[in-house]
Amino acid sequence: MVFDKDKCCGCSACFSVCPVQAIKWTKNKEGFSEPEIIEDKCIDCGLCRKVCPYEEDHVGKDADPEVYAAVHKDKKVLLKSSSGGAFTALSDAVLRQGGVVYGVEFDREYGLVYGRASDKKRRSRFRGSKYVQCDPGIVYRQVEKDLKDGKAVMFTGTPCYVSGLKKFLSVRKADTEKLFLCDNICHGAASPMVWKEYLRYIRSNVLKGKTVKMLSMRSKKTKWQKQYMDCITEYGDESHLLNKKASWNKLYLTTYATRKSCFSCPFTGYERVGDITVADYWNIENAKLYIDYKSGVSLLLINTAKGKEWFAQCEKDLIYEKSDKKSCWQIHLERQQPISSKRSVFWEDFRKDSQKAIARYSKGSLFNVISRGITPILRKLGLYTFAVNLFGRVKGSGK
């Protein structure tokens, strides 16, 4: 457990490992889960520090993963996935062994929960990136139990959660031979409290009381890189209205609602914590590959020997092509997201009147509008990496 709360990622490893339940799991002012020590119960054993992911440092660290661009062969799967559907192929390989898969799903009210799936139907609920932080609750202990029962387990999550789980299991001396870890390249996790207010806002102001039947943050109806949302109500497709009037993705990309610890994320390097890292292959246009990426393409970094074997079991479900580190580069493989000076203004506005703040910030920031407009041009000109690096240097790394 880190004692600087601004560096706590909320993974729950400390809470899960404490042998005397001296850690309370609470919510901070921005709606993120975090630990609180109950002083008179604490025996000062130090385990909470030992399992903390923020004791790690992978920032800018180089490594030599095998790099692939991959697309699921089943078009239906591809259209329901955020990028190329690599997650489905990887999880199918674990389910085929009689294993279980952990991932993030929406509940009935579109809140986020960590789910456990032992069949394809439940697993499919994890498809689609949800750009909100999900409280892991007691999931690490469930994973430990599944491993103890001899099951193969796939755990998917942000790198901080994957690292927290690894450290927790190592302290508990769990047998991890059948554990398959899949992290993602991460842009940061947004506040569940802001997400809840966003849902309240769109229900009354955009959808005017209609019931949401399906919500997705990664539509495939338009160009997949555009990060449109899909929204279906009982009256039909309301996606256009939602994207025009109030887009979660626009708010998310401002990074104002992102957890503070994400700006000092220790996992922004090619040195990864998962056996396999999945991500969007953003820079595919310039990668000089033959793969058809029109409906989305995943980037896969195969980081370990176990990852190689695992990937080999998925090959029959994927169309894939070998790539390289230079072509797939994106900022979160090198450095932390700089913290915006406007973040505190957002939170002041949100505290004053949350619904008004949602209305304002779900239209995005001027910076985002400009950067989204010029990004495709920079990519075409082959200047994207240079421009992002330059901007990152000017703004500082946030660490």
Structure tokens at 283: 């820079």
The per-residue b/e assignment along 138-165, b for 16 or more CB within 10 angstroms, e otherwise, is ebbebbbebbeeebbbbbbbbbbbbbbb
Between 82 and 264, name the residue whose CB sits nearer to ligand FAD: 82
- Residue 177 CB coordination number (10 Å): 8
Least separation in angstroms between residue 34's CB and ligand FAD is 17
User: Count of alpha carbons within 13 Å of 144, Cβ hemisphere only?
Assistant: 18
The CA-atom distances, in angstroms, between 378 and each of 150, 212, 250, 270, 373 are 50, 37, 20, 23, 10
Q: Which single residue brings its beta carbon nearest to ligand FAD?
A: 103
Q: Residues in the site for ligand FAD, rule: CB under 6 A?
A: 81-88, 103-104, 112, 126-132, 134, 156-158, 184-187, 189, 278-280, 282, 298, 330, 332
Our CB check for ligand FAD shows the closer of 10 and 35 to be 10
Residue 304: CB minimum distance to ligand FAD, A: 18
Torsion of CA 338, 300, 129, 124, to 10 degrees: -160
- Smallest distance, ligand FAD to C-beta of residue 104, A: 4
* Choice between 22 and 365, CB closer to ligand FAD: 365
CA distance 42 to 105: 34
- If you ran DSSP here, which 8-state letter would residue 209 be given? T
**Residue 93 CB, nearest distance to ligand FAD (Å)?**
13
Burial (CB < 10 A; 0-12, 13-18, 19+), residue 83, is buried
Closer CB to ligand FAD, residue 105 or residue 144? 105
CB of 149 to ligand FAD, least distance (A): 22
CB closer to ligand FAD, 134 vs 242: 134
Closest distance between ligand FAD and the C-beta of residue 112, in Å? 6
Nearer to ligand FAD, 47 or 140 (CB): 140
Structure tokens at 159: 């790198």
Burial status of residue 69 (CB atoms within 10 A of its CB: 0-12, 13-18, 19 or more): buried
